[in-house]
């Protein structure tokens, strides 16, 4: 996922009322793929060279990937206000899905739509016998980390340094595009407990990695970018060390001031917790 949404922990409810009932379904028509392309441009503001072209959305929908759309409004006037793009992957003979993009139009965020589209992706994947979905996310993104780890139940135990190089998207704030790899073991007891909002077994937290709420502001201004880079560099070292010790990201805390904290412990493969 190319995720980097500069959203400070203000308004936790959508800033605008959804324009009517929202339907989440597969995109099929070419104009729907073009609408996804346009929303990609609106959300990430990439240069043309970095935009994923319409043809990849078309191909992804034909080769076992996913192009999922959130459509709001009444029958005659349906507006695409969110999308998810996933590509089929293969590792050690196992097929899985790599979810490259998840986006919701700014004014409709924090209303649960992001999570609903992920649940739709999961349903479709499990129906096709696919149990693993992966995506990358910017570990400096407090909201995305909270959504991925706490609201969806993903884990992380791989860190990719500067995965895309310096990107043209202002959301990256001119920082190296470091990414954590989210692993969503969609049939695991952990994910089932999280999605059912059922209690999950406590794990022994063996490491904590902090992200200050100021990171959004620091990234957004040239004068303070060095402070954001310092946090990224420090945390990069800490993730590398923790993962080298066999730890995994299993929890995420956010406090009332909007600060974020990764909680790392031992992911028990057999227990799937
Ligand atoms: C990421 C994105 C798709 C999420 O969509 P969304 O519809 O806003 O997500 P949801 O409403 O389902 O969930 C967001 C959760 O994060 C919480 N949240 C919002 N801002 C937050 C913040 N700054 N810090 C911590 N949590 C935050 C919300 O409260 C909500 O949790 P809750 O349901 O417990 O209240 C959307 O923000 C987006 O398009 N971002 C830009 C593109 C991007 O970064 N995509 C990659 C994602 S890895």
Residues 92 and 192: their CA atoms lie apart, in Å, by 25
pLDDT, tens digit, 9 for 90 and up, residues 180-218: 999 999 999 899 999 999 988 788 999 999 999 999 999
pLDDT, tens digit, 9 for 90 and up, residues 171-180: 888 999 999 9
Whether 101 and 83 have beta carbons less than 8 Å apart is answered as: yes
Q: For residue 84, report the distance from its CA to the centre of ligand 1, in Å.
A: 14
Residues 211 and 167: their CA atoms lie apart, in Å, by 21
pLDDT, tens digit, 9 for 90 and up, residues 206-263: 999 999 999 999 999 999 999 999 999 999 999 999 999 999 999 999 999 999 999 9
Q: For residue 270, report the distance from its CA to the centre of ligand 1, in Å.
A: 30
For residue 93, what are its two tokens? 């003979």
Distance of CA 132 to the CA centre of its chain: 15
> Side-chain half-sphere of 87: how many Cα atoms within 13 Å?
12
Residues with CB under 6 A from ligand 1: 1, 3-5, 7, 9, 12, 43, 102-104, 109-115, 137, 142-144, 146-147, 151, 254, 258
Distance of CA 22 to the CA centre of its chain: 20
Indicate if the pLDDT at residue 67 is higher than 50: yes
pTM, rounded to two decimals: 0.93
The angle, 0 to 180 degrees and rounded to 10, between the axes of the packed helices 54-62 and 30-44 is 130
Whether 172 and 144 have beta carbons less than 8 Å apart is answered as: no
Q: For residue 49, report the distance from its CA to the centre of ligand 1, in Å.
A: 27
């Amino acid at each position: 996922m190319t995720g980097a949404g500069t959203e400070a922990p203000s308004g936790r409810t959508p800033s605008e009322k959804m324009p009517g009932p929202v339907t989440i379904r597969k995109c099929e028509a070419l104009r729907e793929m073009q609408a996804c392309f346009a929303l990609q441009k609106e959300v990430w503001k990439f240069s043309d060279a970095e935009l994923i072209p319409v043809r990849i959305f078309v191909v992804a929908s034909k080769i076992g990937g996913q192009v999922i759309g959130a459509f709001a409004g009444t029958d005659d006037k349906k507006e695409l206000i969110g999308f998810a793009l996933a590509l089929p992957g293969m590792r050690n003979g196992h097929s899985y899905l790599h979810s490259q993009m998840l986006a919701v139009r700014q004014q409709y965020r924090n209303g649960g739509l992001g999570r609903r589209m992920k649940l739709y992706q999961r349903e479709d994947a499990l129906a096709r016998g696919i149990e693993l979905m992966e995506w990358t996310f910017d570990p400096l993104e407090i909201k995305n980390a909270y959504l991925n780890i706490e609201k969806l139940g993903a884990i992380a135990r791989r860190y990719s340094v500067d995965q895309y190089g310096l990107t043209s998207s202002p959301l990256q704030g001119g920082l190296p595009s470091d990414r954590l790899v989210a692993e969503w073991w969609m049939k695991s007891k952990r994910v089932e407990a999280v999605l059912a909002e059922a209690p999950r077994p406590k794990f022994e937290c063996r490491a904590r990695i902090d992200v200050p709420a100021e990171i959004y502001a620091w990234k957004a201004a040239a004068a303070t970018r060095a402070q954001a880079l310092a946090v990224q560099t420090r945390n990069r070292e800490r993730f590398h060390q923790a993962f080298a010790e066999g730890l995994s990201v299993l929890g995420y805390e956010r406090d009332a001031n909007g600060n974020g904290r990764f909680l790392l412990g031992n992911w028990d493969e057999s227990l799937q917790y």
